[in-house]
Amino acid sequence: MSTAELSGSTHHDHHEGSYLDGPPGFWSRIWQWATTVDHKKIGVMYLFAVMFMFFLGGVAALAVRLELLMPIRTETLADGSTVVTGQILSSILGATEMSSNEIYNRAFTLHGAIMVFMFIVPSIPASLGNFFLPIMIGAKDVAFPRLNLLSWYIYVFGSIFGVASILMGGVDTGWTFYTPYSLTTDADHWRVVLMVLAAFILGFSSILTGMNFIVTVHKLRAPGMGWFDMPLFIWALYATSIIQVLATPVIGITLLLLIFERVMKIGIFDPAMGGDPVLYQHFFWFYSHPVVYVMILPAMGIISEMLSIHCRKHIFGYRAIAFSSLGIAAVSFLVWGHHMFTAMGELAAMLFSALTFLVAIPTAIKVFNWIATLYKGSIAINTPMCYTLSFLFLFSIGGLTGLPLGALATDLHLHDSYFVVAHFHYVMMGGTVIAFIGGIHHWWPKMFGRMYNEKVGILGCAVVFVGFNVTFFTQFIMGTQGMPRRYATYVDEFHVWHVVSTIGSWLLFIGFVIHFLNFVHSLIAGPKAPPNPWGGLTLEWECESPPIEHNFHHEPIVKHGPYDFDTVVPPHCDPAEYPLPERPEPRA
C-alpha cells in the first residue's frame, strides 16, 4: 500500500505516514476506512461504534430512571374524577397506544440488550484490544487481518438487526429473553425474532475476534517475548478470547432454538407444548455467565497496565495476576447455575454455590496485587490513575456484594431484587466501563496523537464517580429492603431512594458529557502527543503517536519485561525526568 511506503520513507516526522493519514478526497478516505484491514483502523471504528451504542443504551437507562422518579398512582380529585399520576414516559411521548409500563419495559430491555450485546461484550477487546494487542506484542497486525474486517462487518450487520427491532417498536422481554414469556409476547410481530437474531449474529463477530486474538498471541509475538514477558493486558485478552470461542456457540444454538420455538412451535422451551423453560435458563446462563468475564477480564488487564505505568513500578505478583485470569476463565464455565438458585433442587444449588465461591478467590488475589503495587510507587495523579483508583473502589464493592448472592440463604432473599441490579452495575459499570473510560484516556494520545486536558479529565472522573455511587449504592439498600427489579412502579417506602438514584443518573450523564467534550476538544485543538507521554515500557510506547501503518519502523526485539521500571529508562523519555532508583536490583 502506498501509505505504508510513504510512512517508511518519512518516518522522521511523527505525523506524516501515521495510520490516520489517507488519500485526498472525502470519498476516497471513506472507502479506505471501509475496506481497511489495518487492526488500528478497525479498532477505531469499533471504538466509535461501541461508544455510539453506549450512548443509545445510556439514553434508555436515563428513561428507565426517569420513569422511576415517581410511582404510578391514581388520585381522586375534589370533583370525584380520578387522574393517574407518575406515568412520566407516556406523558413525554404523548399520544401513544402503549401504557407507561409497556414503554418502561421496552426501555429497560433496550438498555440491557444494547449494553450487553452491542456495547460491553465487544467494548474493550474489539476497540482497545484490536488496536493494542498486535502493537503490544510487537506485531504488524493481527494474524488474520481480513477476518478482523469481516468480524467488524458482522458486528455492524447484527447491530442493524437490533436497531431495526428498536425502530419497529422495541421488545419487552428483558435482555435475558426468558421463556415462556419471550415465546408469547408480541406474538403478532417480528421484533423479538429480530432482536434475538441480532444477538445471534453479534456472537459470530465475538467468536471471530477471539480466534484471531488467540492465534495472534500464539504466533506473532516479537523476538524475545516469552509468555511471561507479555503485558498483563495481553494475558487478559487471551483468557477472554478463550471464553469467547468456547462459550459463544452455546448462546448461538440457544438463540436459534428460541427463534425456531417462536416461529415453528417445536416444543423445546414452551411448557404448553411439553417443553422446559428451565432448560432455556441453563442454556442461556451457560454462555451468559462466562460472558461476564469476557466483560470484566479485559478491564482487569487495562487496570494492570495503567496501575504499573502511572505508579512507575513493577506490577506486584505478575504471575499470580496472569494465572488468575486463566483461573477465572476456567471456573467461569462452572458457575452458571447461581443465576437460578430459585429454580433448582438442593443438590444443584449446593454445588453451584460452592463453585461460585471458588471463582471469588482469583478475583480477590488480583485486587490484593493491585493494591500492593501502589506500595512505594511514584504515583501520578492523572485521569487514568483516578479511573484506576475508582475501579479499585467500585470493583471491590461489586465483588464483595457478590458474596451474599453466592451464599444460598441470603440469595433467596436478594435474587431478582435491586441488590442484584446494584451488584452487577458495580461490577460491569464500576468495573468494565470505568476501566474502559480510563483506558481510553490512557491510550488516547497513542491512538489519536493528541493530548487531552488533564484537569477536565479528572473533573469528569470525579463527577462520574460521585454520580455512579449516588445512582447505584441506593439500589443496594432498596434491594435488601424488598424492591424487586424490573418494576415500573413501587410502594411509597422506596420513593425517596428512587428519587436519589435518578438524580445520580443525571450526574453520571453530566460526567460523560464532560469527557465527551474533552475528547472533542482534544481532537480539534489538543497539543500534539509525544510518543511516550506516560513513560511506559510496553511496546506501544516505542512507536510513534499515532503509530505508522505497520506500527514499527523495524521489527522490535524485546530486551526487557513490560514493567521493569527498576532497571530501564522508558523509550523516548529524558533520563533526567525518569531517573532509575539508586539501588537497581537485577530482575527477579
Q: Is 581 in the site for another protein (CB under 8 A)?
A: yes
Q: Report the distance separating Cα 132 and Cα 209, nearest Å.
A: 14
C-alpha cell belonging to residue 69 = 422518579
- What residues between 380 and 399 interact with another protein by CB under 8 A? 380-381, 389, 392-393, 396-397
Binding-site member from 157, 190, 323, 357 for another protein (CB under 8 A): 357
CB 409 → another protein: shortest distance, Å?
3
Cis omega (within 30 of 0) for bond into 546: yes
* 229 interacts with another protein by CB under 8 A: no
- Interaction of residue 342 with another protein, rule CB under 8 A: yes
Site string for another protein, 85-104 (x = CB under 8 A): x-----------x-x-xx--
Residue 520 binds to another protein (criterion: CB under 8 A): no
Give the one residue of 218, 219, 265, 413 binding another protein; rule: CB under 8 A.
413
Three-state secondary structure call for residue 138: coil
Range in contact with another protein (rule: CB under 8 A) among 115-123, 147-155, 203-211, 413-421 = 413-421
Residue among 366, 520, 388 nearest 458 (CA):
388
Per CB under 8 A, the list member of 156, 326, 334, 379 interacting with another protein is: 379
Instruction: Please report, as residue ranges, which positions from 232 to 261 form the binding site for another protein (by CB under 8 A).
Output: none
Residue 71 binds to another protein (criterion: CB under 8 A): yes
Cis peptide before 556 (omega within 30 of 0): no
Residue partners of 161: CB distance under 8 A and separation at least 6: 194, 195, 197, 198, 201
Residue 435 CB, nearest approach to another protein (Å): 16
- Sketch the per residue contact string, 134 through 173, with another protein: x for CB under 8 A, - otherwise: --------------------------------------x-
The residue among 265, 254, 110, 246 whose CA lies nearest residue 178 is: 254
- Among residues 46, 213, 316, 333, the one that binds another protein under rule CB under 8 A: 316
Site for another protein contains 187 (CB under 8 A): yes
Residue count, binding to another protein (CB under 8 A): 108
Binding of residue 473 to another protein (CB under 8 A): no
Taking CB under 8 A as the criterion, the residue among 488, 537, 539, 543 binding another protein is: 488
Give a three-class secondary structure readout of 251-310: HHHHHHHHHHHHHHCCCCCCHHHCCCHHHHHHHHHHHHCHHHHHHHHHHHHHHHHHHHHH
Cα distance between residue 370 and residue 374, in whole Å: 7
| Region near another protein per CB under 8 A, out of 10-18, 27-35, 121-129, 343-351 | 343-351
Stretch in the footprint of another protein (CB under 8 A) among 18-26, 123-131, 229-237, 349-357: 349-357
Angle at 464 between CA 461 and CA 468, to 5 degrees: 140
Nearer to another protein, 256 or 580 (CB): 580
Q: Which three cell numbers stand for residue 45?
A: 471504528
Closest among 64, 118, 93, 125 to 509, alpha carbons compared: 64
- For cell 432473599, the residue is 413
